[in-house]
Chain A
Amino acid sequence: MVDLPKTKERDWMKQRVMAASLCVLIVFMLLFFRLVYLQLIKGEEYHRLSETNCVRLKSIKPSRGLIFDRHGELLVDNRPAFDLVMVLEDTGSVPDTVSLLASLIDEPYVDLMEQIQKAGTAAFYKPIVLKKDISRDQLAIVEAHKFDLPGIYVEIEPTRHYIYPKTASHLLGYLGEVNKKELESGMLPHVRAGDHIGRYGVEKSFEFYLQGRRGGRQVEVDVNGRVVQELKTVAPVPGHNLHLTLDLSLQQLAEDLLEDRDGAVVALNPANGDVLVMASNPGFDQNDFIGGISTRNWQALMNNPGRPMINKTIQGEYPPASTYKILTAIAALEEKVIDGDDTTFCPGFYMFRGRRYHCWRRHGHGHLNVVDALAQSCDVFFYLAGEKTGVDALAQYANGCGLGRPTGIDLDHERPGLIPTSAWKRERFNEAWFPGETLSISIGQGFNLATPLQMAVFTAAIANKGTLYRPRIVTAVKDVNGNVVREMDPEITGGIPASRQTLDLVRKGLTEVVEGDRGTARSIRIKQIEMAGKTGTAQVFSRKTGEKFDNENQKRTLRDHAWFVCYAPAQNPVIAIAVIIEHGEHGSSAAAPVAGTLVKKYLGLPGPEESFDAASEG
């Protein structure tokens, strides 16, 4: 320790403590004067402000991002909705006011009171929403009786508006109110109770970009809660806009063509995986979900046997049926168990281990090579080709072609489909693989399942000579000023494991399906261009033998599913399509015409009526 003379140390200490005391005194005087300023000089003013509680924070909802189609056509925007709210503090007698309101706008008293009770613990001065989105008539009545209804206000809320109801409903999706658990999870930092967030479709997948940032206002209000002046405002930041790959007019045409049949249509651009059409029938009206869907509407959707809430293009798993013969052909050619010149004789059935496996054409196809077999969809040819290739090699090629796993589209609930292998069967059923099952697999029956989107991606890859793309639904996210926030580039996920020669043979076979004289889809031939495709008829009956049906529905639900996959023009494809019509029976008659009409529309070729008009004019 430093040895200071005792008196010197005391003097030094005294000087330091005095200096510190002086600082402390100055600080406390400063605080005291501030207190006097606030409580004496400004006291009256602040007292008045506190009496009326007059400074309030009002939050301003951001407007949600808009959604456009590939041509800049607006698909989803926002419209103003009028919400009826109540501020308890401004309302004299709550029961009196609410009962008057209930009789004026003709809403049940108990429903309105329930909203107040639900808000229970919320602060006294915060508005409680009594009824969302009131009608224009109700609005007029409330405004006219404004002075009889203290504490009742109308707030204008931007509300989602789907311009083309039921169009692309599964792709666009819908909104729902955020729940308590999601709020507490901390995953949605900018969302407050009562807000709506995307629940399905791109509304859900791109929620982050669409939602925007909330703003707010500090306002001074009078005793009746009316805004006297705005003190400070933070403007909300609108959500970003989405530019979809969807082609609105083609989508609408696809939905019209499905009419009242249950089914799905997917159209892709083979050059980049853009989703031009994603239609699933039946659909739903997205506008019904705004402000909470009514119980009646929800029950109707749930009880509809066509399952409107399912996006059949990604959630519907169907036996691919004869469309799968494309895959069998690729596998057999690559494994060199057949070559382009090999011919097989089809007598109308194939005897395998003492059992007859029928061809769909009972009296047989005669001699055919792989191109003929694809064109005429001969089952016997593919029984043999598949048998020689083997189930596990078939599965390997199927996986290489993107089947049996999700395509990776930016939508929730996508199903992977199923590509069976012998190992899978042992694990699933604890049973060995029966060779006869390989025959079923070869023609797309049996255990294998695929979604329409998977088949479309596969077809598009055949069309573009081997490249598998991740289906793209959004090309760009742009802010409100049109600046690009994020751009989505086409994404290659793999390539078809096949040589150029194999693909050329398969493409030739698929072209013959439409253009050949014996092709199964020759009925949809278009004069101006060549098209390539493959029909399929998926048996429903064998898969449902254990189920019981009531007599009335039996006939319909036992009918086969109709498939058609195609691309056009055959030489230089710009569109690839997959169509499935549930219980549509034959691919050639039910599914192929849908695809044919879409191709004509997309390529700008005249339809039958138009060509008639043109002829009469000329």
Chain B
Amino acid sequence: MFDRRLIEHFDWGLLVLILLIAGTGLMVLYSAVMAGWQGTGLHYLFKRQLIWMGGGAVLMTGVLFFDFQNLNKLNLFIYAACVTLLVGVFLFGQSGGGSQRWISFGGVSVQPSELMKIALIISLASIYATKVSPEGLNFRQLLKPAVFCMIPVGLIVIQPDLGTGLMLLLIAGAITLFVKVEKKVVLILGALSGCVLPVVWFFGLKTYQKSRILTFLDPDRDPLGTGYHIIQSKIAIGSGMITGKGFLQGTQNALAFLPEQHTDFILSVLAEEWGLVGCTVLLMLYFLLICWGLNIAYNCRNLFGSILAFGITSMIFWQIFINVGMVMGLMPVVGMPLPLVSYGGSSVITNMVGFGILLNISMRRFYTS
């Protein structure tokens, strides 16, 4: 039977936050695709994003209807299904932009690497829930999670999709540090990578590979590609000043100076048109969202639920940090969308499902196993 307490405990605050961010995102996207001397020819993307958001909302609602603890029982099955899909990408996948990332089911294309993020979070939460101790985890206890992590990372990196592979590592790292590891382990791992990396750099990599990594770290090395994107993005952001140029008034955006202004670099459109005020509001909303997620982790009476909530929150956090840092020239340029703001179906769906899980944990926070 449906538990009436679930409605009483429903997390309206989180829902309002999500709706506020999504609303801001749609407004900025509207500006990004509609402004311009002759239009940017991307009008149809706005409608498409609305459809994605609608689909995401349906999925998010669907996720509410079952107890999140079922995920703990099903974790191996979910994990195996996602890994199978990743392997399937190589066998039946469609190439896009030089790498195989998509797989098609009766007309619907999915990107298994996106699903894998959530599957990995569930698996790690399930493993760690049985292992936590106040002293932290030792090497032996970290072996299983490491294997669970490296299989999908390896499959995604050879697609090749370095950005998503790195994302999985960051999420896994955050969860692992959250459940605490022994100091000794942290020190040894740090020292080990400190020794191995220089060896790989000097003996394992070819010149062109090094040059690629250096460009990744320092966009100025490629002034006609990413270096140009970054300077245009900085001009767009800086020119917004305190109050911005006004809705649909951004000139950098309108003149198509900005690369990818509707996907990865969408924050520069917001910054140009709404200035420091607009950006601060969005950053505050994101900050609240992250804190809300951490609070859900704290309030959950179930260790699996806590770690799961933390994992989802860390996924959102990393996207925000990397994207905002990249657009403002603090981070290397990698393909990383801004949650609920950037255009893109995969990102919208994954994040909405993540929010669904957060809402689910929040409304069942008093459940104990």
| Interface set of A (CB-CB < 8 Å, partner B) | 1-2, 4, 8-9, 12-14, 16-17, 20-21, 24-25, 27-28, 30-32, 34-36, 38-40, 42-47, 49-51, 53, 55, 57, 59, 89, 121, 123-125, 215-216, 218, 231-234
Closest to B133 in A: A2
Q: Of A13, A32, A47, A218, which is within 8 A of B283 by CB?
A: A32
A121 near B223: Cβ-Cβ < 8 Å: no
Contact with A along B236-249 (1 / 0, CB 8 A): 11111110000000
A121 near B38: Cβ-Cβ < 8 Å: yes
Q: Of A34, A36, A39, which is within 8 A of B330 by CB?
A: A34
Closest to B272 in A: A50
Q: Of B257, B287, B328, which is within 8 A of A35 by CB?
A: B328
B86 CB to closest chain A CB (Å) equals 26
B140 CB to closest chain A CB (Å) equals 16
Closest to B325 in A: A31
B369 within 8 A of partner (CB): yes
Contact with A along B180-224 (1 / 0, CB 8 A): 100000000000000000000000000000000000000010011
> What 19 additional pairs, Cβ within 8 angstroms, besides A28-B283, A124-B255?
A2-B131, A2-B303, A8-B134, A17-B295, A20-B178, A28-B287, A38-B271, A39-B238, A39-B241, A40-B241, A43-B241, A44-B241, A47-B238, A47-B239, A49-B235, A55-B235, A125-B257, A218-B223, A232-B227
A101 CB to closest chain B CB (Å) equals 22
CA distance A2 to B239 in the complex (A): 55
A175 CB to closest chain B CB (Å) equals 24
A36 near B224: Cβ-Cβ < 8 Å: no
B298 within 8 A of partner (CB): yes
B236 near A234: Cβ-Cβ < 8 Å: no
A39 near B303: Cβ-Cβ < 8 Å: no
* Most B CB within 10 A of own CB, among A25, A35, A123: A35
CA distance A57 to B228 in the complex (A): 8
Q: Of B179, B237, B239, which is within 8 A of A16 by CB?
A: B179
Q: Of A17, A28, A53, which is within 8 A of B255 by CB?
A: A53
CA distance A450 to B280 in the complex (A): 79
B242 near A50: Cβ-Cβ < 8 Å: no
Q: Of A24, A27, A50, A231, which is within 8 A of B294 by CB?
A: A24
CA distance A45 to B294 in the complex (A): 39
- Give 10 A-B contacts (CB < 8 Å), ordered by A residue: A2-B303, A27-B317, A34-B325, A34-B330, A35-B237, A35-B271, A39-B242, A39-B275, A46-B236, A46-B237
B107 within 8 A of partner (CB): no
Closest to A9 in B: B303
Closest to B220 in A: A232
- List the A side residues contacting B286 at CB < 8 Å: 28
B14 within 8 A of partner (CB): no
| Interface set of B (CB-CB < 8 Å, partner A) | 37-38, 41, 129-134, 178-180, 220, 223-224, 227-228, 231-232, 234-242, 251-252, 255-257, 271-272, 275-276, 279-280, 283, 286-287, 290-291, 294-295, 297-298, 303, 306, 310, 317, 321, 324-325, 328, 330, 369
- List the A side residues contacting B317 at CB < 8 Å: 24, 27
A56 CB to closest chain B CB (Å) equals 9
Q: Of B224, B279, B287, B324, which is within 8 A of A234 by CB?
A: B224
B236 CB to closest chain A CB (Å) equals 7
> Top 7 closest A-B pairs, CB basis?
A46-B238, A50-B239, A232-B223, A43-B241, A216-B224, A47-B239, A17-B298
Q: Of B231, B298, B325, which is within 8 A of A55 by CB?
A: B231
A121 near B41: Cβ-Cβ < 8 Å: yes
- List the A side residues contacting B224 at CB < 8 Å: 57, 59, 215-216, 218, 234
A35 near B279: Cβ-Cβ < 8 Å: yes
Closest to A27 in B: B321
CA distance A121 to B321 in the complex (A): 35
B38 near A1: Cβ-Cβ < 8 Å: no
- List the A side residues contacting B231 at CB < 8 Å: 55, 218, 231
- List the A side residues contacting B232 at CB < 8 Å: 55
CA distance A2 to B276 in the complex (A): 48
A32 near B178: Cβ-Cβ < 8 Å: no
Q: Of A4, A39, A49, which is within 8 A of B240 by CB?
A: A39
B130 near A43: Cβ-Cβ < 8 Å: no
- List the B side residues contacting A2 at CB < 8 Å: 130-133, 303
B298 near A40: Cβ-Cβ < 8 Å: no
CA distance A2 to B179 in the complex (A): 13
CA distance A234 to B224 in the complex (A): 8
A38 near B132: Cβ-Cβ < 8 Å: no
- List the B side residues contacting A89 at CB < 8 Å: 255
A87 CB to closest chain B CB (Å) equals 12
B309 CB to closest chain A CB (Å) equals 10
B174 CB to closest chain A CB (Å) equals 8
CA distance A8 to B227 in the complex (A): 51
A35 near B294: Cβ-Cβ < 8 Å: no
- List the A side residues contacting B133 at CB < 8 Å: 2
Given the contacts A53-B257, A218-B223, A234-B224, A13 and B129 also touching, CB distance less than 8 Å: no
CA distance A50 to B249 in the complex (A): 12
CA distance A125 to B238 in the complex (A): 21
B283 CB to closest chain A CB (Å) equals 6
- List the A side residues contacting B242 at CB < 8 Å: 39-40, 43
B255 near A36: Cβ-Cβ < 8 Å: no
CA distance A35 to B224 in the complex (A): 25
B276 near A123: Cβ-Cβ < 8 Å: no
Closest to A17 in B: B298
A24 near B241: Cβ-Cβ < 8 Å: no
Q: Of B131, B238, B297, which is within 8 A of A45 by CB?
A: B238
CA distance A42 to B236 in the complex (A): 12
CA distance A50 to B275 in the complex (A): 14
CA distance A47 to B251 in the complex (A): 10
Closest to A25 in B: B287
A17 near B294: Cβ-Cβ < 8 Å: yes
B242 CB to closest chain A CB (Å) equals 7
Given the contacts A16-B179, A32-B283, A123-B256, A47 and B241 also touching, CB distance less than 8 Å: yes
- List the A side residues contacting B330 at CB < 8 Å: 30-31, 34
CA distance A98 to B294 in the complex (A): 63
- List the B side residues contacting A121 at CB < 8 Å: 38, 41
B251 near A35: Cβ-Cβ < 8 Å: no
B36 CB to closest chain A CB (Å) equals 9
A24 near B290: Cβ-Cβ < 8 Å: yes
B231 CB to closest chain A CB (Å) equals 6
Closest to A57 in B: B228
Closest to B224 in A: A216
- List the A side residues contacting B131 at CB < 8 Å: 2
CA distance A35 to B241 in the complex (A): 10
Q: Of B220, B234, B252, which is within 8 A of A38 by CB?
A: B234
- List the B side residues contacting A125 at CB < 8 Å: 255, 257
CA distance A25 to B288 in the complex (A): 10
- List the B side residues contacting A42 at CB < 8 Å: 238
- List the B side residues contacting A25 at CB < 8 Å: 287
CA distance A231 to B274 in the complex (A): 29
Closest to A218 in B: B223
Closest to B179 in A: A16
Given the contacts A16-B178, A43-B238, A53-B255, A1 and B283 also touching, CB distance less than 8 Å: no
A38 near B328: Cβ-Cβ < 8 Å: yes
- List the B side residues contacting A53 at CB < 8 Å: 251-252, 255, 257
Given the contacts A35-B283, A43-B242, A53-B255, A13 and B38 also touching, CB distance less than 8 Å: no
Given the contacts A28-B287, A35-B328, A232-B223, A218 and B228 also touching, CB distance less than 8 Å: yes
Closest to A34 in B: B328
- List the A side residues contacting B298 at CB < 8 Å: 13-14, 17
CA distance A28 to B321 in the complex (A): 8
Given the contacts A24-B287, A31-B328, A50-B252, A36 and B235 also touching, CB distance less than 8 Å: no
A220 CB to closest chain B CB (Å) equals 11
- List the B side residues contacting A123 at CB < 8 Å: 37, 255-256
